Amino acid sequence: MRLLLVEDDRLLADGLTGQLEKAGFSIDWTGTAREAVSFGKHDDYRAVVLDLGLPDGSGLEVLKTWRANQINVPVLILTARGDWQDKVNGLKAGADDYLAKPFQTEELIARLNAIIRRSEGRVQSLLKAGGFELDENRQSLRLPDGSEHSLTGTEFRLLRCLMSRPGQVFSKEQLMEQLYNLNDTPSDNVIEAYIRRLRKLVGPESILTRRGQGYLFNEAV
């Protein structure tokens, strides 16, 4: 699941990137308002963590620009400005949540997962499709027979992407965007390799190939 982190404090951004990747996110980072506007317009993110105080502009104006361009990605504002009026202004501009610095990373991750679940119409951390249950907190999969299996980070991100929208065809390029950030250089056949590994777990009929189009999770099995 791909996430955009807009934070001009490089030390904080580096630390957050590591923690968020452990939580199953693929992170693109920028420390400027100009790049944030561009990334938001041209890339498919599942959520954004947005700092308000950026060196070349206001995060609030970045958010307003996205919303004016019908970019409806869930946004969590992360800032040192803890005044209630700043929170109100951020929420009015289209933010989905607000967290003041200093903060606990566990709370940030919990809030991110909550706004992503709401954007997908879910209220629980269990992602269900067919007879399968994907636990976002434990990064594990429960099979229809009741057995539970731990997943690697990449397996979890790939399966979460497919199970979050069962029946939808994802091209290889779309899956690569959700699994890797702009700085990664995975090989062309990495998706096929992980699809093969997941099929050994969920069965070949649960992840179908649409020739020339991509892959979909089949919840009708």
Report pLDDT digits (tens) over 39-82: 998 878 999 999 999 999 999 999 999 999 999 999 999 988 76
The whole-angstrom separation of Cα 41 and Cα 199 is: 34
* Residues 184 and 178: beta-carbon distance below 8 Å: no
Residue 123 pLDDT: 80
Residue 182 pLDDT: 66
For the chain, give the DSSP string. -EEEEE-S-HHHHHHHHHHHHHTT-EEEEE-SHHHHHHHHHHS--SEEEE-SEETTEEHHHHHHHHHHTT----EEEEES---HHHHHHHHHTT-SEEEESS--HHHHHHHHHHHHHHHTT--SSEEEETTEEEETTTTEEE-TTS-EEE--HHHHHHHHHHHHSTT--B-HHHHHHHH--TT----TTHHHHHHHHHHHHH-TTTEEEETTTEEEE-TT-
Residue 173 pLDDT: 87
As a whole number, the mean pLDDT across the chain is 91
* Residues 163 and 129: beta-carbon distance below 8 Å: yes
Q: How far is CA 127 from the centre of its chain?
A: 14
Residue 36 has pLDDT above 90, yes or no: yes
Residues 35-41: what's their mean pLDDT?
Answer: 94
Percent of the chain with pLDDT over 90: 66
- Comparing 23-27, 120-124, 189-193, the range with the smallest average pLDDT is 120-124
Residues 131-139: what's their mean pLDDT?
Answer: 91
User: Binning pLDDT at 50, 70 and 90, where does residue 115 land?
Assistant: very high
pTM for this structure? 0.79
User: Binning pLDDT at 50, 70 and 90, where does residue 31 land?
Assistant: very high
Residue 5 pLDDT: 97
The whole-angstrom separation of Cα 111 and Cα 216 is: 28
Percent of the chain with pLDDT over 70: 98
